Copies of this chain bind each other. A is one copy, B any other.
Amino acid sequence: MSSTAHAPLTSCALHAHHGGQLGVYEHQAASTHCTMRFSVFTPPGEGPFPTVFWLSGLTCTEDNFTTKAGAYKRAAALGLMIVAPDTSPRGPDVPDDPEQAYDFGLGAGFYVDATQEPWSAHYQMQSYITQDLLNIVLASFACDPKRIGIMGHSMGGHGALTLGLKNPALYKSLSAFAPIVAPSQVPWGQKALGGYLGDDRAQWAAYDACALITAAGDRASFPPILIDQGCADDFLTEQLKPELFEDACRGAQQDLTLRMHDGYDHSYFFIASFIDDHLDHHAAILKAL
């Protein structure tokens, strides 16, 4: 890891882990105008490594995936680098939901570029993930720019799908756990998109995975998508609605594997139970490039 003139990087923690190295870093991000934090797992061996970005869900920071997902043993075996950023801007200047709700503001950036005051000054998470974070990872770590994938959970599954579908030349592999697939149609998404983007629903479509797939007509050519969903997930029927994405993919002839798991909930215990399959999915695609 080295710093560059573009992007000074502060190392907050370094741990040997599964034969590789896990680090937590901070940097000043141009898009969000604040200090952002992320973790990087570097597998053993020589890079450049195929790299998967993980986007977390509501209330999370970079720490949840890093400590709870149990991803790094398989990542080490596969030679995958994994980058896990925070879920929103942070800091004394960053506004939060007036009611400090868990589903808007801090911890709930929804991976959009906000256009509405007071959010637009800092809540630029789409640009942060696809530009600032990407660039500092490329500049500072042994990441192979041609072999990058993206995955996430819940709000972060929404982020992974939307950013992946909009940037197919950048993200070559896609997967999600219990994603919000149709934010325009569910309460979490309607609150977030309405707040960050305003009432004009035409602006929401760029941040709606179902809308993005449907816009591809009947000949979508995105990489095959893997989604795992727990059947005992408390948010399944009101907020997640994977059947909407299944329908959209069917209409667009998009390759989707949607696995429904009896008994599994929305927690990191669910993620940890199936994360190895996602890493295998990404590695199979990225290593074949």
Interface residues of A (CB under 8 A from B): 15-19, 22, 67-68, 70, 72-73, 230, 232, 261-265, 267-270, 272-273, 276
Query: Which residues on the B side are within 8 Å of A17 (C-beta)?
Result: 269-270, 272-273
- 11 A-B pairs with C-beta separation under 8 A: A15-B265, A16-B230, A16-B262, A16-B265, A17-B272, A17-B273, A18-B272, A22-B269, A67-B68, A67-B268, A73-B272
Query: Which residues on the B side are within 8 Å of A19 (C-beta)?
Result: 273
Give Cα distance in the complex from A272 to B68, angstroms: 10
Query: Which of A17, A264, A269 has the most chain B CB within a 10 Å cutoff?
Result: A269
Give Cα distance in the complex from A16 to B73, angstroms: 21
Query: Which residues on the B side are within 8 Å of A73 (C-beta)?
Result: 70, 272-273, 276
Give Cα distance in the complex from A70 to B22, angstroms: 15
Give Cα distance in the complex from A273 to B17, angstroms: 6
Residues of A contacting B: mostly: mixed
Query: Which residues on the B side are within 8 Å of A68 (C-beta)?
Result: 67-68
Give Cα distance in the complex from A262 to B272, angstroms: 27
Taking a contact as CB atoms under 8 Å apart, the answer to whether A269 and B15 are in contact is yes
Contact among B16, B232, B269, B273 with A273 in the assembled complex (CB-CB below 8 Å) = B16
> Considering only CB atoms, which chain B residue lies closest to A16 in the complex?
B263
Taking a contact as CB atoms under 8 Å apart, the answer to whether B261 and A16 are in contact is yes
> Considering only CB atoms, which chain B residue lies closest to A64 in the complex?
B67
Taking a contact as CB atoms under 8 Å apart, the answer to whether B16 and A272 are in contact is no
> Considering only CB atoms, which chain B residue lies closest to A15 in the complex?
B269
Contact among B16, B230, B261, B267 with A232 in the assembled complex (CB-CB below 8 Å) = B16
Taking a contact as CB atoms under 8 Å apart, the answer to whether A270 and B70 are in contact is no
Q: Closest approach, in angstroms, between the C-beta of A22 and any C-beta of chain B?
A: 6
Query: Which residues on the B side are within 8 Å of A72 (C-beta)?
Result: 272
Give Cα distance in the complex from A78 to B15, angstroms: 28
Query: Which residues on the B side are within 8 Å of A263 (C-beta)?
Result: 16
Query: Which of A16, A72, A262 has the most chain B CB within a 10 Å cutoff?
Result: A16
Q: Closest approach, in angstroms, between the C-beta of A241 and any C-beta of chain B?
A: 21
